Amino acid sequence: MGAKIAAFWNDCFDLFFPKVCPACKRAMAGTEYQLCTQCLLFLPRLHAGGLSALEVETKFSGFREVKTVQAFLEYHAKGKVQSLLRSLKYEGNKELASFLGRIYGLDRVAAGSIPAADLLVPVPLHPRKEKERGYNQSEFFAAGLSGVLSIPLDKSFLVRNVYTRSQTGKTRSQRIESMQGVFGLRPGVNPGKLRILLVDDVLTTGATLEACIEELVKGGCREIHIMTIAAARD
């Protein structure tokens, strides 16, 4: 009886306060989870046309240690993927970040495109920004990937030493310059001989990831793979 009453009140709550898909902002059915079925099936996948894998990979062509660059979705300004990322960054949707990691992990397993990595490392937030935001969305995305790909996660392998403001409006060269010295390795860690899977939420100019790559390479990392939720043109 108690279970039936609880189910009744849950149905009433969903009727008057329906869950909203973070991508399209439409009401979701009670059986849908995190994303509506339409968005889950038809959000723009990176390699389904448009932005090419080559465009993404050439962003890091200056680093011989970078072996693969993969992204789940294609980002367009004012599009559904932008809405999705805003929900991750500013609405504290931790479970959505983990869900996307699990979904993309399964996608990579099915495609036979699992990076040969020893350790999964998310791009860190500065402690002040993480406190403001409540969590690091890249860390939760990485946790979802880790569970599916069976690659150990070290969420503090990299540290962010400098608080930076939004990079919106800056050119690629300006972004790269502003990211100099922002990241470092956690005291005591040694990336030498490790194959690192570096994870972030979105890849645009690549300045943030490039700054992380530089620190890993300086520490002796021999092989780096990259995965992001989304990628965009510069």
What pLDDT was estimated at residue 46?
A: 80
Region 213-220 average pLDDT: 95
Query: What pLDDT, in 10s, does the model give residues 88-111?
Result: 988 889 999 999 999 999 999 999
Confidence of residue 13 (pLDDT cuts 50, 70, 90): very low
All domains of the chain, ordered by start, with CATH?
Answer: 1-42 (no CATH), 44-231 (3.40.50.2020)
What pLDDT was estimated at residue 4?
A: 55
- The pTM for the full model equals 0.86
Query: What pLDDT, in 10s, does the model give residues 42-89?
Result: 999 886 544 555 566 678 888 999 998 999 999 988 899 999 999 998
pLDDT above 90 covers what percent of the chain?
Answer: 65
The candidate with the shortest Cα–Cα distance to 69, out of 197, 191, 219, 185, is 197
Comparing 20 with 233, which gets the higher pLDDT? 20
Please say if the pLDDT value at position 233 is more than 70: no
Please say if the pLDDT value at position 5 is more than 60: no
What pLDDT was estimated at residue 17?
A: 58
Tell me, rounded to whole angstroms, the distance of Cα 153 from its chain centroid: 14
Confidence of residue 232 (pLDDT cuts 50, 70, 90): confident
pLDDT above 70 covers what percent of the chain?
Answer: 85
What pLDDT was estimated at residue 12?
A: 43
What pLDDT was estimated at residue 10?
A: 47
First to last CA, the chain: 57
Greatest distance between any 2 Cα atoms in the chain: 65
What pLDDT was estimated at residue 197?
A: 98
Please say if the pLDDT value at position 11 is more than 70: no
What pLDDT was estimated at residue 18?
A: 77
Tell me, rounded to whole angstroms, the distance of Cα 4 from its chain centroid: 39
Whose tokens are 């960054």? That residue is 89
Query: What pLDDT, in 10s, does the model give residues 162-208?
Result: 887 766 666 777 877 778 889 999 999 999 989 999 999 999 888 99
What pLDDT was estimated at residue 50?
A: 46
Could you tell me the CA-to-CA distances from 126 to 8, 129, 160, 165, 219 in Å, in that order? 44, 5, 5, 11, 20
